[in-house]
Amino acid sequence: MKLPSFVKLPGHKKFTITPRYYDPIKEEILERTEMIKREMSGEENFGVRAHKITFDRRSSPGPNTSGLQIIIAAGLGLAFLSWLYFGNPVLHFLWLIIPIYLFLKFKKKATKH
C-alpha cells in the first residue's frame, strides 16, 4: 500500500546505453592505411603526423615527491627514536631549533626578492 504524498515523484525509466569500444590496434591500422594511401597519391600532410606524435606522448609527471616523503619519514623516525633514548629534552631542543630554522629560511627568501 502506497502512502499519500504531496510531491509527485517521476516514475522509473529504463536505462539503456550503447557501449562504445576503443580498439587501439584497429585504429592504428586504419591510420597507417590512410597514411599509405596519402603517400601513394602524393598528398602528404606532415602537420597531422607531427601533431599526433605530440598527442600520443605522455605528459611529464610532476616533481618526484617520494624523496621528500622519505626525508620526512626518516626525520620523524629519528625524532621518535631520540625521544625514546633521551626523553623530553629532545622535544625542548626541537622547540628551539625549528623556529630558528624557519626564521632563517624565510629571511633568505625575503632577501632574494
Count of Cβ atoms closer than 10 Å to residue 35 Cβ: 15
The helices-and-strands tally (H runs, E runs) of the chain is 4, 0
Domains of the chain, residue spans: 24-56, 79-112
Three-state secondary-structure class, residue 7 = coil
* Per-residue b or e along 58-95, where b marks 16 or more CB atoms closer than 10 Å to that residue's CB: eeeeeeeeeeeeeeeeeeeeeeeeeeeeeeeebeeeee
| pLDDT digit string, tens, across residues 13-33 | 887 888 788 888 988 999 999
pLDDT exceeds cutoff 60 at 54: no
pLDDT in tens, 57-94: 555 666 677 887 888 899 889 989 998 999 888 888 88
The predicted model scores a pTM of 0.36
Place of cell 592505411: 33
